[in-house]
Amino acid sequence: MRRTSILIAAVLLLAGGPARAQQGPWSLADCINYALEHNLTVQQSALTVEQREVDLSTAKGRQLPNVNASSSENLSFGRGLTADNTYSNSNTTSTSFSLGANMPIFQGFDIVNGIKLGRLNLAAATVNLEKARDDIRVAVAQAYVQILYNQELLGVAHQQAEHDAELLEQIRERLLAGKVSEAEVSAQQATLAQSRQSEIQAEGNLRMSLLELTQLLELPSPEGFSIVTPEVGDPSQTLLMRPEAIYDEAVEIKPAVEAAEINLDYAKLAITRAKGARLPSISLSGGLGSNYYTNSKVQAAPFGEQLRNNFSQYVGLSLSIPIFQGFSIRNNIRNAELNFKGQEIQLESTKKALYKEIQQAYYNAVTAQARYAGSRESAASARQHYELTEEKYKVGKADVASYNDARNSWLRAESEHIQARFQCLYQTKLLDFYRGRELEF
C-alpha cells in the first residue's frame, strides 16, 4: 500500500507541469499569470531582490559589535622562564583564554550611508523585478495576438481548401456531362493542391506561434496547448489619447523610469559616502582574558587558582585620522561625482526612450486603425469580385486563370485585413498598458 501511494504521488508530481496545458484553452490573463510565476527571467529578478535584502541586512549588521572568543595551548622545550624570573632548561606549558569585542563608534558616516545605499539597492531590485514582469506581459501579449492571427489565417486557408475540393467535384461532374475539358479538371486540381499547400503553411505558422508562447510560459511542450479566442469588437473605433497625455501618466508609474530615479539617488548618496572617507573613525574595544602556566622544574599553582589570579580585563578607545591615502579618497570622490552625472544622463535618456516608445505605439495605433478600416473595404471588394468570378467560372464564362487571380487577390486582402485587425487591437491595448492598465482582450 505504501509503495502504491508513493508511485501515485510520483506520477502526479511528474505530470503536474504539462497537465496544466491539457486543461483546455488559456486566456490571456491565464498566460500572463502563469508566465509571471514560472518564467526564468522573472525568477532570476526575484532572486536578485532576495540578494539585496541579504545585502541590506549585512549593512545593518555593521552597526553591531564584533565579538570573538579564542583559546590557545603552547608547549615549550629547552630553556624557559622560571618563577624567579631566570631561565633554565625546562619544559613549560601555557594555556590562555580570551573574549574580546570591538564596536564602531564613528566611521565617517560610512555605516549609516551604507545602510541607505542598501535600501536603495533593494528598492532598485524591486523595481527591476516589476520591469521584468512588464516585459514578460508585453511579450506574452504579442505571442498571444500572433496565435490569434495565425488561427484566423488557418481557418481561411482550411475553408478555401474545402471549397476548392467541392469545386473540383463539380467540375468532374461537368466533365462526365461533356461540358468541360480534361484541361479544366487538371487546372482545378492544381488550384486545390495550392490551397492545401497554403493550409499546410498556415498550420506550420500556427504551431510555431504556439511554441513561442509555451516557451515564454516555460511549458515543456506545446502539445495540447490552446488559447481562448476572445470576442473582438471594432478596434478602429477606440479613441486614442495623445502621446503627451499618455507619457504624463506613464512617467509616474513605469518601472524603468523609477529604477533610473533610484539609481540617481544612489549615485548622489555615493558621493556623500566617498567624502566621508576624509573623516576620522573611532572604535571602542574591550575584552576578558586569563591564562595557566606550568614549568617542569617548578611546582605550578592549581589550574583554577591561576585562572583566578591571572584574570584580566581591558577597555580601549581608538582613533584613526586619514592624512594621505595615495589620492585614493580624492579619486573615489571624483568617480562618484562622474557616476552621478552619468546617472542624470541615464534618467533623461530613459524618459526620452519611454516617450519615443509611446509615440511609436501611438502612431502605430493610428496607422493600424486606418489600415484596418481600409483593409475591411478592400477585403469585402475582393471577396465580392472573387464570388462573381467563381460564378462565371462555374458556368464556363471565365477561365481558371481569372478564377485563380480573383481567388489569390481575395486571400491576400483577407490576410491583410485579419493582420490589420489584430495589429490594431494590440497597439490600442499597448497604449492602455503604458497608462498602467492590465493587458487584456
Q: Is residue 337 part of a domain?
A: yes
Give the CB-side neighbour count of residue 373, counting CA atoms within 13 A: 8
Provide the domain limits for residue 214.
28-64+108-279+322-434
Residue 287: what residue type? Answer: G
Q: Is residue 286 part of a domain?
A: no
**In this predicted model, what pLDDT tens digit does every residue of 138-164 receive, in sequence order?**
999 999 989 988 988 898 888 888 888
Question: C-alpha grid cell for residue 374?
Answer: 481600409
Would the pLDDT of 130 be above 80? yes
**In this predicted model, what pLDDT tens digit does every residue of 280-316 receive, in sequence order?**
999 999 999 999 888 777 777 888 888 888 888 989 9
Place of cell 498598458: 433
Number of domains in the chain: 1
> What pLDDT score does 23 carry?
61
Give residues with Cβ within 8 angstroms of 202, minimum separation 6.
150, 153, 154, 156, 157, 158
> What pLDDT score does 85 carry?
67
Lowest mean pLDDT among 200-204, 208-212, 320-324: 320-324
Is residue 273 helix, strand or coil?
Answer: helix
Question: Which spans in 177-327 are helix H?
Answer: 182-216, 243-253, 255-275, 303-309
Residue in 362, 356, 355, 376 with CA at minimum distance from that of residue 428? 362
Would the pLDDT of 22 be above 80? no
CB atoms near residue 411 (< 10 Å)? 20
> What pLDDT score does 200 carry?
94
> What pLDDT score does 80 carry?
61
**In this predicted model, what pLDDT tens digit does every residue of 231-265 receive, in sequence order?**
766 666 677 889 999 999 999 999 999 999 999 99
Question: Which spans in 324-436 are helix H?
Answer: 328-394, 400-434
> What pLDDT score does 82 carry?
62
Give the C-alpha distances (Å, rounded to integers) separating 198 from 193, 399, 401.
9, 22, 18
Q: Is residue 310 part of a domain?
A: no
Q: Is residue 420 part of a domain?
A: yes
**Burial classification of residue 279, based on how many CB atoms lie within 10 Å of its CB (0-12 exposed, 13-18 middle, 19 or more buried):** middle
Q: Is residue 296 part of a domain?
A: no
Q: Which residue has the higher pLDDT, 8 or 110?
A: 110
CATH for 200: 1.20.1600.10
Mean pLDDT of 212-239: 83
Lowest mean pLDDT among 313-317, 400-404, 408-412: 400-404
Q: Is residue 392 part of a domain?
A: yes
Q: Is residue 243 part of a domain?
A: yes
> What pLDDT score does 6 carry?
35
**In this predicted model, what pLDDT tens digit does every residue of 39-83 receive, in sequence order?**
999 999 999 999 999 999 999 998 999 999 999 988 887 766 665
Q: Is residue 140 part of a domain?
A: yes
Mean pLDDT, rounded, of the chain: 85
pTM, two decimal places: 0.77
Any long-range contacts for 58-66 (C-beta under 8 Å, 24+ apart)? 58/118, 59/111, 59/114, 59/115, 59/117, 59/118, 60/115, 60/118, 62/104, 62/111, 62/114, 63/104, 63/111, 63/115, 64/103, 65/101, 65/102, 65/103, 66/101, 66/102, 66/103
Handedness of CA 416, 418, 423, 425 (dihedral sign): positive
